[in-house]
Amino acid sequence: MLFAFSVSPMTSDSPDGSVSQAVARAVQVVRTSGLPHETTAMFTTIEGDWDEVMPVIRAACDAIAEVSPRVSLILKADLRSGYAGELQGKLARLEAAIDSLPEGN
């Protein structure tokens, strides 16, 4: 199962509104979880089953809550039991599908 999420504080003390220092705390939680993951500019995707992933997402929210009184969480999941390695597998299938399209489409 893949879980894509974005967690951030709803407030910032930074003059430019940056939340990167707080978000870094959440990403560190994911990185130390030991679960397969990928972080992009807008989301972190983590792979595992419910019981593995949800405590990590909660801990990431808790890490933000330590520095902000209000936390925003966006969560999207691809619940497909029995599959593993989907962080790369889904992308590989997409690339193969793109490569199979006729030129110009």
Q: Exposed, middle or buried, 45 (CB in 10 Å: 0-12/13-18/19+)?
A: buried
| Model pLDDT, residue 81 | 84
CA distance 1 to 5: 13
| Model pLDDT, residue 65 | 96
CA distance 47 to 84: 8
pLDDT in tens, 41-63: 999 999 999 999 999 999 999 99
Alpha helices, DSSP H only, in 1-105? 20-32, 50-65, 86-99
Backbone CA torsion sign across 29, 88, 5, 55: negative
What are the 10-residue block averages of pLDDT along the chain, 105 residues in total?
95 84 95 97 96 98 95 96 90 94 82
| Model pLDDT, residue 96 | 95
| Model pLDDT, residue 12 | 80
Domains of the chain: residue spans and CATH: 2-99 (3.30.70.930)
| Model pLDDT, residue 14 | 82
| Model pLDDT, residue 18 | 84
